[in-house]
Amino acid sequence: MIDDMDRVVPLDQLDDFQVADGDPDPRGWDVIGADGAKIGEVDEMLVDTRSMRVRYLDVEVDDEAVAGVRDRHVLIPIGTARLDEHTDCVHVEGLSAAQVGRLPQYNHAPLTRDFETSLRDSFEHPGEATPRRRLEELAGTGERPDDFYAGPLYDDTRFYGRRRGDADAG
Percent of the chain whose predicted confidence (pLDDT) is above 90: 35
pTM of the model: 0.80
- pLDDT tens column, 35-55: 999 999 999 999 998 888 899
What is the pLDDT, as a whole number, of residue 148?
A: 85
What is the structure's pLDDT at 18?
80
Q: How many CB atoms within 10 Å of residue 74?
A: 25
Burial of 15 by CB count in 10 Å (0-12 exposed, 13-18 middle, 19+ buried)? Answer: exposed
Domains of the chain, residue spans: 8-161
- The CATH code of the domain at 8-161 is 3.90.50.10
Q: What is the pLDDT of the chain when averaged over all its residues?
A: 79
